[in-house]
Amino acid sequence: MKISKHYFRNKTVLVLLATNGALFVLAVANVLLNVDTKLNSISIVSYRSSRAIQVSGPTSDLYQFAIFAVIVTVGSILLSMKLYNHRKHIAVSLLGLNIVLLVLCLVVFNALTRTI
């Protein structure tokens, strides 16, 4: 994969990469520090407020939020690098959408772990 020499010189891309990196570290650290399988072996893994349905499962299932953050961040950065030569606006938009996904990951994880 050939990376454009201008990719890391673009200020917008650098700001978005730094923001993605910070949110990625925050999301993974939040999951790793707040999931305690010794404290509770079962926790809420799905909640529907409209129907008052709570699905319980093993607490280790909450580690999937960290795996999601890794896959989404790595995938969006690689796709952004690959698309930058041909479609700069799509590459920048992809990095911006990754920020939205990481924020939603943080919000949903905190909602599930704080309802107990």
Confidence check: pLDDT of 63 > 70: yes
Average pLDDT, the chain: 86
In terms of C-beta density within 10 A (0-12 exposed, 13-18 middle, 19 or more buried), how is residue 65 classed? Answer: buried
pTM to 2 decimal places:
0.84
The pLDDT tens digits of the residues spanning 23-59 come to 999 999 999 998 876 766 666 666 666 766 666 777 7
